[in-house]
Amino acid sequence: MKRFALIGLPNTGKSTLFNRLTGMSQRVGNWPGLTIDLCSAKLLLGGHMVELVDLPGINDLTAYSDDEAVVRDVLQTTAFDGALLVMNAGQLDRQLPLAIQILASGLPCHIVLNMADEARLLGIKLDPAGLAAQLGTPVSLVSAKHMEGWSQLMAGLNRLAASKHIAVQADLNTIPDTTRALTEATQKLSGNWSLPAMLPSGMTEKLDHWLMHPWLGLPLFFICMTLLFNITYQIGTPLQDGMSAGMDWIKLHALEPLFSPLPTIIQSLLLDGVWQGVSTVLTFAPILFVFFILMAMVEDSGYLARVAYLTDAMMSRLGLDGRGFVMQLMGFGCNVPAIMGTRVMRERSQRLLTMLVIPFSLCSARLQVAVFFSGILFTAQQAPWVLTALYLMTFAVAIFTAWVFKHRYHANEAFLLEVPPYRLPGGAHMLTRAVSEVRAFLRLASTFILLGVVLVWLLTHIPAGADRTLAVAIGQWMAPVLDPIGIHQELAVALLFGFIAKEILLGSLAVIYGVSEAGLADMLVHHLDWISAMSFLIFTLVYVPCLSTVAVMHRESKSWAFTSLSVAWSVALAWLLSFAFYQGMHLWGISA
């Protein structure tokens, strides 16, 4: 089987091309550094089965950042039969030097000039045939988003796969340096690619006048995020209620009659443990689906790169840069890929400080908890604003953390970020992103969460002497820590399992109280006053996000000391914030 490398600069649509060619659902966004792990897929080209390996996005082969080092190592140690080099057709003056380096390494190449539609709108003149003649390798002009020029691209890839090239490892000892590659690229572009004398004034400039305004930019961003949460609630809540009612109907009319012949203890395990816990978690699938469609729209539009630019000055005072803010926004989906995304930073201190603040991003798992508690404690009109305030709280915690540790992890790396033009998000891409996120969530629900809620059920049913269960014993053991922050002892088990994965937390609560998602809201309202519930929510949102995040933090930092610091800091900060809120409410005489 032949093997091709997929190489490209950040923000060139490389992952989109990979998805189009292979049918996979790599995450696609509109800022640099998104492809962070190697991914491969098999496809049939020219009568040959080809493994296409998607390498991290790089700017050149000088190996300053971890991602560039990964690409260098893979190219030098793995034999490839060819390479697909993806570039933005509208930015060849800056991107062609990488092609010069790759061609000099000896790899047979097919160059893919992506985003042809954008280059055309910008008035760029491009001669693919002339450029191919200058470079001595085939060149295809395409738009992977709209599959423009697809037949010509596939014909070229079929020819590359059918060629008699012998698989080779790249020779990076002879490649030109960046300066020489830039000079050579300028010569080859002459007569084959040109920008208009002045780029046409369009929607990008008009939007940026407001969205990148030095004073109005960030307020407008937070207004956009508030609207996003409001729309999520307006669309997602009715869907969530419908799924909850459906789950209750299935339990009442299908599962209870089915399990009625079984012993009572087995019925309790299956209905009050497995079904109650998992179904409570599953009811959040619709609202997550809506949220990720909206977030994909924001990401694919190119807006987040502008937010990174706006926040760079503020972040620099904290020892970070605009990329730190981008990574936090990536953490909205999941903290794990956001932490892995820090590989694009060259200085280790910068990476460590960024990794320290990312876990405070409100990931999709904690979003469930925030949505649930906001919904039961506040009205439908108040809940979106509360959710926005919780997001702002996580940003504030991250900023405070960076401020505390900026001298310990001091770095001076220059920040360079490309601000892309605004793009109309593709409906298929947004749908793919949302489906992919929900599918991963359901996969977790069918395995990890299932095991978690069963273990919680066992803890709430296994006796530990003195007319108490193991769950009660654990709660009593943790009482000296939990009582000062107003968290009831029965919630201790939920917090412990929440450390493993926040997706388990709501399912654990349903099992602890033995109710469905609809009943859980009423049960918590009756058992917890709103101050205790908010204290529990604050603690949940700030303390360790999940075991997977801890594991990837250790893998990326290669330091147990740093990982332990991150865990200890987040737990201590969560306790202090909950303590300040709970005790402050009572000190000020605010009634629960």
d(CA 74, CA 7): 11
Tokens of 136: 């001595």
d(CA 252, CA 256): 6
d(CA 514, CA 522): 12
Q: Please name the residues in contact with 509: beta carbons below 8 A apart, sequence gap of 6 or more.
A: 280, 491, 494, 520, 524
State whether residue 304 is helix, strand or coil: helix
Q: Can you tell me which residue has the tokens 């909850």?
A: 244
d(CA 410, CA 540): 30
Work out the burial of residue 165: count CB atoms within 10 Å of its CB; fewer than 13 is exposed, 13-18 middle, 19 or more buried. Answer: middle
Taking CA atoms, 154 is separated from 134, 141, 158, 159, 213, in Å, by 22, 12, 6, 9, 43
What does the pLDDT read at residue 35?
47
What does the pLDDT read at residue 33?
47
What does the pLDDT read at residue 287?
83
- In angstroms, how far is CA 66 from the centroid of its own chain? 19
Q: Which string of DSSP letters, residue by residue, matches 427-474?
A: HHHHHHHHHHHHHHHHHHIIIIIHHHHHHHHHHHHSB-STT-BHHHHH
CA triple 545-551-552, angle to 5 deg: 90
Find the Cα–Cα–Cα–Cα dihedral 334, 335, 339, 345, rounded to 10°. 80
The gap between the terminal CA atoms of the chain, to the nearest Å, is 67
589: region left, alpha or beta (phi > 0 left; psi from -120 to 50 alpha): left
Crossing angle for the helix pair 383-405 and 364-377, nearest 10 degrees? 130
CB 508 within 8 A of CB 459: no
Q: What is the pLDDT along the chain (592 residues), one digit of tens a residue?
A: 899 999 998 878 888 899 889 886 554 444 444 444 578 889 999 889 999 999 888 888 876 667 788 888 889 989 999 999 999 998 999 899 999 999 999 999 999 999 998 888 778 889 999 999 999 999 999 999 889 999 999 999 999 999 988 889 989 888 998 889 999 999 999 999 988 765 455 777 888 889 989 889 989 988 888 888 788 878 988 998 899 889 889 999 999 999 999 998 899 889 888 888 788 778 878 887 888 888 888 877 888 778 888 888 778 888 887 777 777 877 877 787 778 778 767 788 989 999 999 999 988 789 888 988 888 888 888 888 888 888 889 889 999 999 999 989 987 766 666 677 787 777 777 887 788 778 877 776 666 677 877 888 888 888 887 778 888 898 899 999 999 999 988 788 889 888 877 878 888 888 888 777 667 888 888 888 888 989 999 999 999 888 888 888 998 898 999 999 999 999 999 999 999 999 999 888 776 5
d(CA 232, CA 294): 8
d(CA 551, CA 560): 10
What does the pLDDT read at residue 61?
87
Which of 385, 96, 374, 77 lies closest to 229 in space, CA to CA? 385
Give all domains of the chain, ordered by start, each with its CATH number. 2-194 (3.40.50.300), 218-587 (no CATH)
d(CA 341, CA 326): 10
d(CA 332, CA 591): 33
Which of 239, 238, 240, 268 lies closest to 256 in space, CA to CA? 268
Q: Using the 8-state DSSP alphabet, how is residue 4 labeled?
A: E
